A = this chain, B = another copy of it.
Amino acid sequence: MSTDSTLSNLNERSQQLFKVLVEQYISDGQPVASKSLSNDEQINLSPATVRNVMADLEDLGLIISPHTSAGRVPTARGYRLFVDNLVTVKPLRGQAVDKLRSELGIDDSQEALITKASSMLSGMTKMAGVVTIPRREAVILRHIEFLQLTSNRILVILVVNEEEVQNRVIHTERAFTESELIQTANYLNQEFMGKDLSLIRQSVLDSMKQERDDMQHIMKMAIQMTDNVVSDQNDDDFIMAGQTNLMDYAEMANMEKLRQLFDAFNAKRDVLHVLDKSIQAEGMQVFIGEESGYSAFDGCSVITSPYKVSDEVVGVLGVIGPTRMAYDKVIPLVDVTAKLLGSLLSSE
């Protein structure tokens, strides 16, 4: 049942014909008729012969006829075969890449960059763009500070990596004095600045076994805080743009489906799952229709690519659009955008 075995059942001519069929369907959205294929300059066959071939393709489950007197449209399986083996991607011209780079390059903060990347993906494809917030394995402590709010509520401010500021209120069992807080902060800053947060956590845990009771309170605070920061990283996030573009596609006209899709966007969970698969695969991914396992996405395809900062995969970006999309153009666009974003983030 694998794509490859399907492929081996197809001779050169059938493949070519299938490819043209998919391309034609993608470009005009109408079921493709034998006559129309026969007219295509790449195909020198009579409509009757085309029909014979199409019958085979239908038997293989690659195309289907909505009704007797209509042409054929690709099935999900057909799209799969197409994108995996047949599509000829059109690489972006260097000029276009430069344009992308310069548009993306004008922003300097990380968040602005990501937002811009997302809206560029959406703008160029007229579909929805999505970019996950980069998440580095190593979280380097740069600075920590405690600020007393009330007697046992303390605001912890944490600067990590380059310029990410995280803050959180923690509740302590006993009240700490101003100087205790400063002392702890100083200690942590001197000892651990420039170190990885997970290492710090381990260190602190170790020292807790030895230190005497009073110190433990402070340490507990620190642990609690790093815990939170780490878990905050897990509940990571993405920036989406151009969702409403999807409303313009005829295949989304069904309000019920549309709502499911937008609900999925808002809930984020399902989208994250799909993006996760892509990050694990460490390469470009194309999810077609319900393949993703989420019914909200049927009728949609998701094209993703992870992006790297200094050779480490830190996030993934992509576009979400109708299954009938111009894969040949979207695939290279996503690819290039991932590379660009990665390099811009690295050089920051």
Contact = CB atoms under 8 A, between A and B. Distances in A.
A263 B149 CA distance: 40
A169 B165 contact: no
A251 interface: no
A253 interface: yes
B147 A143 contact: yes
A163 B155 CA distance: 7
A109 interface: yes
Given A155-B165, A165-B165, A169-B163, A259 B255 contact: no
A206 interface: no
Taken together, the copies of this chain in the complex come to 2
Contact of A255 (B109, B145, B149, B253): B253
Contacts of A188: none
A6 interface: no
Nearest to A240: B266
Given A244-B263, A262-B247, A167 B169 contact: no
A247 B243 contact: no
A259 B149 CA distance: 45
A243 B262 contact: yes
Given A165-B167, A169-B163, A248 B259 contact: yes
A162 interface: yes
Nearest to A258: B247
A257 to B, nearest CB: 10
Contacts of A259: 244, 247-248
Interface in A219-258: 243-244, 247-248, 253, 255, 258
Contacts of A143: 147
Contacts of A169: 109, 163
A244 B259 CA distance: 6
A244 B257 CA distance: 11
A212 B163 CA distance: 31
A113 interface: no
A325 interface: no
Interface in A77-107: none
A266 B244 contact: yes
Interface string A135-159: 0000000110101010000010101
A145 to B, nearest CB: 7
Contacts of A258: 247
Given A255-B247, A259-B248, A263-B244, A149 B163 contact: yes
Contacts of A243: 262, 266
Given A244-B262, A248-B255, 11 more contacts: A143-B147, A145-B145, A145-B157, A147-B159, A149-B162, A155-B159, A157-B165, A163-B169, A165-B167, A247-B255, A247-B259
List 4 A-B pairs, minimum CB-CB distance, nearest first. A165-B167, A247-B259, A244-B262, A244-B259
Interface of A: 109, 142-143, 145, 147, 149, 155, 157, 159, 162-163, 165, 167, 169, 243-244, 247-248, 253, 255, 258-259, 262-263, 266
6 contacts: A145-B145, A149-B162, A165-B165, A165-B167, A244-B262, A244-B266
